[in-house]
Chains A and B, each alone.
Chain A
Amino acid sequence: MNAWPFFLELLQVLALAAVAPLFAGWVKMLKCWSQGRSSPGLLQPLRDLRKLFAKDVLLAENASWIFRFTPYLVFSTALLAAGIIPMLSVDLPLALTADVIVFVALFAIARFFTALAGLDIGTAFGGMGASREMTIASLAEPAMLMAIFTISLGSASTSLAQIVSSIQGGQLLLRPSFAFAILAFVLIALAETGRIPVDNPATHLELTMIHEAMILEYSGRHLALIEWAGMMKLSLFCYLGIAAFFPWGIAASRDLRALGLAFAAMVLKLAALGVGVVLVETGLAKMRIFRLTEFLGAAFLMATLGMLSFFILE
């Protein structure tokens, strides 16, 4: 059996795990600049992670095995998702393991356990975060799948590798269904990765926390794993958007030069997306939680319009 594809798979997972903190640092750096502050530099998230990994763990007295198991599960699902998505090449052994629905479900299982961990210690904050996170997720998920279905209708497949190859192989068209799907996808990706205007990753202000409230009791290597998985999730969602809408550059083969190009394209695209994220984050304010219904409703509407326009126009 040829080991090269499996090595490539490993390479892609490691590349994502390494790039994710840098991407988070890049977003943070741009945000500081845009707000007129001096930035801590590109490597700050890596330094934070190293510091957290070196620290001892403080565990609440009431914490059960769920609380200790969750960081490992969350991190592993992120790694698995990194193996599935066509990032460097479409021709990977794990690509057949899961399609885009499974990809979304992998994050759902991580969220399920994070919410349980929030409830495990028995503080009001944990419960509040869990309740809000699950509410937002249940509104975001239909819109997410609707957007994905719109794309998969175009390529008659839910397999990510197939979607990428069919877009790369097709003509460069401006499809109305894609335009709507992109809009919907951006709104949902902001909600799913917990960015402004849905959640503020930088806040520990008591009443507005969502994701942070769930993981408030974590420390040491547990917190490091969760934080790292969160950064990977941000990069993965960006990359899901890239794979579904702008897949040019992803290698169709396992040829080394194409892979190098694919890696360069990946870094460039992520850098450009980082600018977009920062523009949204500095331009908007965080919304009240009950306004989110309208926000996610709008995303769902966009996705639905995308699907309708696929059937009517294409």
Chain B
Amino acid sequence: MSVEPLQTACGAVILLLALPVMALALQRSQRLLVASSFTLSAVASLLAVVAGAVCVARGSVSTATLVLGLPELPFTLRFDPLAGFFMVVVGLLSLFVSVYSLGYVRGLLGHRPVTRLVFFYNLFLAGMLMVVLANDALFFLVAWEVMAVASYFLVVFEDERVENRRAGFLYLVVAHVGAVAILLSFGILAGLGTGFASFGGYSFDAMRQISLSPGWATAAFLLAFFGFAAKAGVIPLHVWLPEAHPVAPSNVSALMSGVMLKTAIYGIVRVTFDLLRDLPWWWGAIILVFGLASAVLGVLYALMQHDLKRLLAYHSVENIGIILIGVGLAAIFRAFNLPLLAALALTAGLYHTLNHALFKGLLFMGAGAVLHATGERDMEEMGGLIHRMPWTAALFLVGCVSISALPPFNGFVSEWLTYQAFLLSPSLPVPLMKLLIPMGAALLALTGALAAACFVKAFGITFLGHWRGHRKPQVREAGWTMRAGMLLAAASCLALGVLPSLVIDWMDSVAQQLVGARIGAPASALGWLWLTPVAPERASYSGGIVFLGLLTMIPAVYLLLHIRPGAIHRVPIWDCGFEKLTPRMQYTATAFAMPIRRIFGFLFAVRERVRPTAYAGAAPYPRRLGYSLRVRDRVWGWCYQPVADVSFLLARQVGRLQQGRIQSYLIYSFVTIIVLLVFLR
């Protein structure tokens, strides 16, 4: 049976658009609604994965025109390898999350009606798939808005809490400022390219044909980068992200962090590499610098969090940074006409896109399972969950190891490819860049090591040790559908880490399409087990052998040591003779991050107070100590507070016009008419 990629993808989108209607029809029987609609979303996501995988494997391009849209400007679709790759990214995680949602959303049933969640969930998935399919600016922006608005309603799903409404509002504002910038960028491309002659310029096909003056091209690039960066959460446009992602239901957080941010990466790659094509090197440098800043600051801010989902949200900022490093390097290499190196860097970035979707989805699903079981988001109150939730703990650990870039899991492969791209920068012709770009590699190493520290903290404080909280909830393991969703994501993380050369071979057509070179042939020069970008004598890595080595050696050592029976005695922990150890004396998340907070303290607005209280009589020592700590990122105070203040100030000034007297309003209208008559005759 041959699969027509575009038709299959359209089938997935139509199914996803039909599901909200079904949600409205079935809202009387919520249980049936959850079971049927998430099963069907999983089917639709599977269709999208198949469509994308076939399209990328064939390297085919297919187009279609819909009968919808405006006169002269119908909606058009185009399914090329780049779109196919992102469709696989979106579809794969949606598949896993939909399976997970079967159990997760059922857990919400007693508390509130979930019709709205189901409705917008499917609309959100459909929006993301339409974004990658769109081939004209109008359809793209319609799909973009469907995605943004649907996700807004998902963020404010539990709208009785003030923080959720605030987070939703902030998200909506930033999303729309970004959307306006994207709109203006398309306006420049379409309007100046065709001289404002017709609506035809708004199709991406027309934009590929035109050539802009360097000034306008730069303006278009900067606007598009700003707009997409706002959606992707690039520092300093990230402030909405750690607010909005934690308050959404966890299956939605997984999708927002895992794949919605990736549509912004798609936008950046599409506009820079496909629509604008002739890029000067410093565009790449801009992407690279913002990527590095996001990576390092994102992970440092993440380390300071003790809310599990907020911590994960900040890690999305970090990982978007790592992806942008790859994309930026690719742009630089392409500008200097080094297609092979550009293909390597781009593949590194895109591979990390896929990896991040999977492990971040997995981690948010795990955090959701913990939240579901304990009703707690604050890590300081948790601990010891590995005994009660062994499956969730093991799967969450897989996510932690993957995101910390440790072999043999997938995060390491993409970071390793990025290092290789960095190390090839000496072939650039500009001496200054030869010097500066390897510094980026050091920052990437810092990011990776800090991420490992952060996930030791996240996993160790949440799942290990003893329960720290005062409340003692009845914790039970997540249901089997939730575990199945996480298990699938974890298995993909391992597969992508162990067999990277097969995946890179598959996604080669994307690099071929965008930078005109492929790395698949050198990448599997030694066979499918080895990954050798550029050349075998340059560098090689075999995740499969590392995995197999550990897989055989660990049992071998274990068996060798168990030939002679040796007993294991369970004993109380060593308390140094103190005898009154309590679980509150364990290290907490704040304590764990203290050395790093002290070393990198200058990057945060830290307010730490220790107040001795309750002196008993003349005793020299206080009986109790009050400790308060507040760590905020400085970006809010530097970039957003002034804007917010000025807006409020302006609003108050303008507000003075409103007198509430009909006479003044008539005067305003009269003056306006006079002015218009004078100037516009």
Contacts and interface: CB of A to CB of B under 8 A. Distances in A.
Name which of B426, B456, B459, B530 has the most chain A CB atoms within 10 A of its CB.
B456
Contacts of A287: none
A167 B592 CA distance: 43
Contacts of B442: 142-143, 145-146, 300, 303-304
A116 B456 contact: yes
Given A120-B386, A120-B460, A140-B449, 14 more contacts: A58-B568, A59-B568, A60-B572, A60-B574, A79-B553, A116-B459, A119-B587, A121-B573, A122-B466, A123-B573, A141-B445, A142-B442, A142-B446, A290-B595
B99 to A, nearest CB: 26
A138 B386 contact: no
A228 to B, nearest CB: 10
Contact of A119 (B438, B460, B546): B460
A108 B571 CA distance: 30
A135 interface: yes
Contacts of A141: 445-446, 448-449
B452 A149 contact: no
A204 B68 CA distance: 75
Nearest to B593: A131
A140 B453 CA distance: 12
Residue from A55, A119, A152, A153 having most chain B Cβ neighbours under 10 A:
A119
B443 A102 contact: no
Chain B residues touching A, majority SS: helix
Looking at B419, B457, B546, the one whose CB has the most chain A CB atoms below 10 A away is B546
A137 B550 contact: no
A275 B554 CA distance: 34
Contact of B574 (A62, A80, A123): A123
A246 interface: no
Contact of A158 (B445, B539, B554, B558): B539
A162 B536 CA distance: 10
Contact of A134 (B407, B443, B452, B546): B452
B401 interface: yes
Given A96-B526, A108-B452, A119 B568 contact: no
Contacts of B673: none
A159 B460 CA distance: 34
B385 to A, nearest CB: 10
Contact of A124 (B405, B407, B587): B587
Contact of B401 (A109, A126, A217, A289): A109
B465 interface: yes
B509 interface: no
A226 interface: no
Given A59-B568, A112-B452, A75 B530 contact: no
Contacts of A225: 557, 561
Contact of B452 (A64, A76, A137, A303): A137
Given A59-B568, A122-B586, A137-B449, A96 B383 contact: no
Contacts of A73: 550, 554
A43 interface: no
A159 B449 contact: no
B542 A112 contact: no
Contact of B573 (A61, A112, A132, A144): A61
B537 A157 contact: yes
Interface string B215-252: 00000000000000000000000000000000000000
A290 B601 CA distance: 13
Given A79-B553, A120-B464, A149-B438, A98 B456 contact: no
11 contacts: A58-B568, A59-B568, A59-B571, A62-B384, A96-B530, A97-B541, A101-B419, A123-B574, A138-B452, A141-B449, A159-B540
Given A122-B466, A137-B453, A105 B405 contact: yes
A96 B549 contact: no
Contacts of A108: 404, 406, 449, 452
A127 B586 contact: yes
B585 interface: yes
Given A64-B386, A127-B587, A112 B598 contact: no
B567 interface: yes
A146 B598 CA distance: 24
A102 B452 CA distance: 15
Most buried by A among B441, B443, B445, B599: B445
A232 interface: no
A203 to B, nearest CB: 15
A216 interface: yes
A66 interface: yes
Given A80-B550, A159-B537, A221-B566, A311 B434 contact: yes
B464 A116 contact: yes
A122 B573 CA distance: 9
B541 A102 contact: yes
A238 B426 CA distance: 29
| A-B CB proximity, top 5 nearest | A127-B587, A119-B460, A122-B465, A134-B453, A138-B449
Nearest to A156: B538
Contact of A98 (B461, B546, B596): B546
B591 interface: yes
A295 interface: no
A89 to B, nearest CB: 17
Interface string B543-575: 001100110011001100100001111111111
Nearest to B583: A122
A72 B574 contact: no
Contact of A112 (B435, B456, B569, B574): B456
Nearest to A128: B587
A130 B404 contact: no
A115 B464 CA distance: 11
A97 B546 contact: yes
B412 interface: yes
B283 interface: no
A237 interface: no
B431 A98 contact: no
Contacts of A143: 442
A99 B550 contact: no
Interface string B639-680: 000000000000000000000000000000000000000000
A139 interface: yes
B553 A80 contact: yes
B306 to A, nearest CB: 14
B540 A96 contact: yes
A96 B525 CA distance: 12
Interface string A196-217: 0000000000000000000011
A311 B425 CA distance: 12
A293 interface: yes
A112 B452 CA distance: 7
A289 B585 CA distance: 22
A53 interface: yes
B373 to A, nearest CB: 17
Given A62-B573, A76-B550, A98 B542 contact: yes
A90 B173 CA distance: 59
Nearest to A293: B599
A255 interface: no
Contacts of A252: none
Given A57-B566, A127-B591, A141-B445, A119 B557 contact: no
A55 B536 CA distance: 47
A106 B465 contact: no
A119 B405 CA distance: 21
Contacts of A123: 573-575, 581, 586
A193 interface: no
A118 B407 CA distance: 21
B522 to A, nearest CB: 14
A126 B465 CA distance: 10
A308 interface: yes
B80 to A, nearest CB: 33
A277 interface: no
